[in-house]
């Protein structure tokens, strides 16, 4: 598929994921599940609180999922650009939660750092990618000098680095994964698995009680619901192994465990941040439950662990 335009600085004549029957098949299966689930839940949408919440989530995914598949199916660099936009918007929500969005110097340094990571992914410069946290820290340390102020600067610098590490350096490993063989498929694979694991944990947790894993942080996550959700995620990982370049057991088992366990830790960590800041959600509901950061917080652990694990075993 040729996407070249006259005088456009980026050549877009690389094969697109839409040309692969595997990609089209995956899109068809996932959208069929979403639309089928939506059709069923539609008739029960006012029955109780859980159906109201489920219907809100389904409605959001009916819009978000096709958009995501359309962009992920475009040639380079558009999937990478989409990931960068998601990371920047996630960082914005993080700063809103921490009450420092008005500190535009630190916010802009984080945004520019994420754009720098995106360029590193595009030009395959892992060496620069891995020193970007130090570069961001260096610029953040200059802000107190430029502003000639010291009040709360240690807090602002620390939160800037934390936002960049989580929403930039960690999350943008998805951009590095795009460089893998069938990288777009693997990114889709991780997004589907982590979202599935979170939703099944929440759904199963309503019916399975028992010992709470971290009651002081999130009382809804029990040992039973977490174990069941990870088991179901592993089952889904096995069913969708055709998205991986190698469908042998060690690959899809590793991917399923990373999506389940890594996503669980990422979700808990952001819950700690929200509760410590005293802010549960920011902005309107997006994708059904919570704010934008709720939908990507699991990937901040999943993406780098998956990247280095696959780098080691591929």
pTM metric for this prediction: 0.84
Q: SS3 of 212, please?
A: strand
Contact 175, 132 (CB under 8 A): no
- The dihedral region occupied by 48, where left means phi > 0, alpha psi between -120 and 50, and beta the remainder, is beta
Look-up of token digits 């595997």: 22
In this structure, what are the phi and psi dihedrals at residue 96, rounded to the nearest 5 degrees? -65, -40
What are the percentages of helix, strand and coil residues in the chain, rounded to 5?
A: 70, 0, 30
Choose from 33-37, 44-48, 118-122, 214-218 the range with maximum mean pLDDT: 118-122
In this structure, what are the phi and psi dihedrals at residue 6, rounded to the nearest 5 degrees? -60, 140
Query: Mean pLDDT, the chain, as a whole number?
Result: 83
pLDDT at position 237: 87
> Within the chain, how many helices (H) and strands (E) appear?
13, 0
Query: How many CA atoms are closer than 13 Å to the CA of 186, on its beta-carbon side?
Result: 25
- Rounded Cα distance, 302 and 255, in Å: 9
Q: SS3 of 222, please?
A: strand
Q: If you ran DSSP here, which 8-state letter would residue 101 be given?
A: T
- Rounded Cα distance, 224 and 220, in Å: 11
The packing angle between helices 183-205 and 223-239, to 10°, is 150
Which residue, 65, 68, 80, is CA-closest to 35? 65
Higher pLDDT, 48 or 234: 234
- Rounded Cα distance, 35 and 41, in Å: 10
Contact 137, 156 (CB under 8 A): no
Query: What confidence category does residue 71 fall into, taking pLDDT thresholds of 50, 70 and 90?
Result: confident
pLDDT at position 191: 87
pLDDT at position 49: 65
Buried b (16+ CB within 10 A) or exposed e, 282-312: beeebbbbbbbbbbbbbbbbbbbbbbebbee
Q: What is the mean pLDDT of residues 227-245?
A: 86
Q: Which residues pair with 239 in a beta bridge?
A: none
pLDDT in tens, 143-177: 999 999 998 899 999 999 999 999 999 999 999 99
Query: What confidence category does residue 3 fall into, taking pLDDT thresholds of 50, 70 and 90?
Result: very low
Give the Å distances, CA to CA, from 256 to 22, 68, 158, 196, 228.
19, 21, 33, 11, 13
What are the structure tokens assigned to 237, written together? 């990982």
């Amino acid at each position: 598929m040729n996407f070249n335009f006259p005088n456009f600085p980026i050549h877009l004549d690389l094969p697109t994921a839409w040309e692969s029957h595997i990609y089209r098949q995956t899109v068809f299966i996932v959208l069929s599940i979403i639309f089928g689930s939506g059709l069923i839940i539609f008739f029960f949408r006012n029955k109780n609180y859980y159906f109201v919440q489920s219907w809100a989530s389904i409605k959001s995914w009916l819009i978000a999922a096709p958009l995501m598949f359309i962009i992920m199916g475009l040639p380079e660099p558009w999937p990478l650009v989409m990931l960068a936009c998601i990371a920047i918007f996630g960082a914005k929500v993080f700063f809103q939660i921490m009450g420092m969005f008005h500190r535009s110097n630190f916010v802009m340094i984080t945004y520019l750092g994420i754009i720098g990571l995106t360029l590193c992914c595009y030009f395959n410069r892992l060496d620069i990618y891995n020193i970007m946290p130090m570069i961001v820290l260096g610029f953040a340390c200059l802000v107190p000098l430029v502003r000639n102020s010291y009040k709360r600067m240690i807090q602002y610098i620390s939160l800037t680095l934390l936002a960049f590490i989580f929403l930039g350096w960690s999350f943008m490993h998805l951009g590095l994964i795009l460089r893998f063989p069938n990288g777009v498929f693997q990114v889709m694979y991780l997004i589907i698995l982590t979202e599935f694991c979170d939703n099944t944990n929440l759904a199963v947790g309503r019916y399975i009680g028992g010992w709470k894993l971290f009651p002081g942080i999130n009382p809804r996550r029990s040992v039973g619901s977490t174990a069941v959700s990870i088991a179901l995620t592993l089952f889904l990982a096995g069913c969708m192994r055709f998205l991986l370049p190698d469908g042998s057991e060690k690959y899809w088992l590793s991917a399923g465990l990373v999506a389940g366990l890594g996503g669980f830790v990422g979700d808990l960590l952001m819950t700690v941040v929200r509760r410590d800041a005293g802010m549960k959600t920011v902005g309107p509901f997006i994708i059904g439950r919570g704010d934008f950061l709720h939908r990507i917080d699991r990937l901040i652990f999943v993406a780098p662990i998956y990247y280095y694990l696959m780098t080691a075993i591929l």
